[in-house]
Structure 1
């Protein structure tokens, strides 16, 4: 198949691209700059911007499927980087372009926790994008990954950096809220396998790892992987930290926003059984997975 891939230069996108090529698919990769070059002859670079509908008019011509991986975890309104533009407008533009070019198959990256009554702007715009996909009339599949880990991830590597450098690691609240980390290789395999699995059409999949852990447990597992007997933690009272985060989040260098804190406290767990079964996946154990790139 010829796959039109957006977000293909990101953390998940690079792994999706690798697995697509491994399965013999051709990839047309949307990039902002024509200066970017492809390492593989089966990757075609095309310049465009998902937030500018006119730049997509001919971009999808000749493709069989769209895989949309565009997404951000944090907004920078001053640079016009917002959830609304990158999640909702991007999806609307891609769906329109797909219809114009007769591309009927559409795979959408969403996020675990996305729902109609979401609190955060992140989840609200992901939900709006999902609704556009469902109402498009195309042959769609939506994936909702939980926390994604892998060699170049931000979350695990950030925590590993803190554990290496600090004698005491700060934790928001009691640290008992749970996460269900899923390997980037498994997330990518779900997208790629869906291309040859017709029964995935019209389904929304929750994509999580085989086991859920509390935030405290994740810190301890990372610490153990780094050879530490224990990770000393200092728990920050939420009553004090929420106002601090609200004030400091406007600074780009501050590591957390109010939305991110809210999503952390909401937990990030799911039942991946249907996703695992339909896409024939062998899910990667978190402890084994992080040992491959933290040691």
Structure 2
């Protein structure tokens, strides 16, 4: 029976992944700085929550002992250059060393579509550097590069639905940016499928998959979709580039996590769609669901808002 260490298991994707791992009958360990952060998953059978700082390399090495594999979901969307380096680059480097010290070879790492050393944003460049930090050592490594992830409990379509419930019009920076959204359930299925696969102990291997859905939509189209599904459609007002950047800067100054930052706009200056350079979810046997088939199930007032079975029915898989 597999035992999986999940870094970032208390987040949006992590919560869905932990449910999938439970359904596989596997044992899961979720480290977190504060146990209360894991309230959404700690009820799952065969799941252990441990209070730990995964950025402490010695503690990370201890956590890895006794596990068959590790999944790294830890990421931030906003932050300074130092914050992106700390989370996206230094942690993977520590993980690679900790795996070597503990003897754990199987690693599934969630990166980002468009990650490249010459990408236009700090976020995407740091994601590329994080991938590179994992390459040294005898790791059996799978890198998954998702586009924007949607699904029950997301902070993407739900945010736009909430905005349209309160605003008469939605001012939108980067309205023409193109995305290929992937359903969270398809992404975590890719993780589970990857965990089932392992190369021979004699050699290391790195596989990369682009995790995208079948629809390519602009940000404005996604906002309108969220409005229709939630029953609060509002006009979308695309902003000129300079005004959009000024708005993003103002959002950065607001307390708490910003809804958008200038670095987000930099990321959106290039299409967030599959390049075709790497295999997609179909190579893992996954027929990706479209955002149009799933979103009404959790955004609609009478739709299914959570639960794997209901969402698969809404996607035509029940």
Structure-2-length-normalised TM-score: 0.84
Give the match for residue 270 of structure 2. 266
After superposition, the CA RMSD in angstroms is 2.2
Query: What residue is the counterpart of 1:182 in the other structure?
Result: 182
Contact 2:158–2:226 (Cα < 8 Å) also in 1: no
For 1:245, the equivalent position in structure 2 comes to 248
| Residues 201 and 187 (structure 1), Cα distance of their counterparts in 2 relative to 1, 3 Å cut | farther
Moved more, 252-261 or 271-280: 271-280
Q: Secondary structure at the match of 1:249?
A: helix
- Larger mean CA deviation between 243-252 and 101-110 belongs to 243-252
For residue 223 of structure 1, the aligned residue among 227, 237, 261 is 227
Show the 5 A alignment for 1:35-54: 38-54=42-58
Whole-Å separation in 2 of the counterparts to 1:34 and 1:15: 18
| TM-aligned CA distance change 1:271 to 1:280, over 3 Å | farther
Match of 1:274, SS state, is: coil
Residues 31-79 of structure 1: per-residue CA shift (max 9 Å, x gap): 11356572134112222212221222311111110101000101279xx
CA distance in 2, matches of 1:281, 1:118: 28
Q: Does 1:191 align with 2:191?
A: yes
Where in structure 1 are there 5+ consecutive unaligned residues?
none
- 8 Å Cα contact 2:6/2:73 also seen in 1: yes
- Equivalence for 1:114: 115
Q: Partners of 2:292 and 2:251 in 1: how far apart?
A: 33
SS of alignment partner, residue 205 of structure 1: strand
1:292 matched residue in structure 2:
297
Q: 1:234 aligns with which of 232, 237, 257?
A: 237
Kept in 2: contact 1:46–1:59 (CA 8 A):
no
- 1:189–1:172 CA distance, 2 compared to 1 (3 A): same
Q: What is the CA distance between 1:248 and its match in structure 2?
A: 4.8
CA deviation after TM superposition for structure 1 residue 219, in Å = 2.3
Aligned positions of 1:53-68 closer than 5 A: 53-68=57-72
Where does the alignment leave 5 or more consecutive residues of structure 2 unmatched?
301-318
Matches within 5 A, 1:1-295: 1-34=2-35, 38-75=42-79, 82-172=83-173, 175-198=175-198, 201-227=205-231, 231-246=234-249, 248-253=251-256, 254-270=258-274, 274-295=279-300
Name whichever of 272-281 and 284-293 sits farther off.
272-281
Distance 2:197 2:241 in 1: 45
* Count of matched residue positions in the alignment of Structure 1 and Structure 2: 290
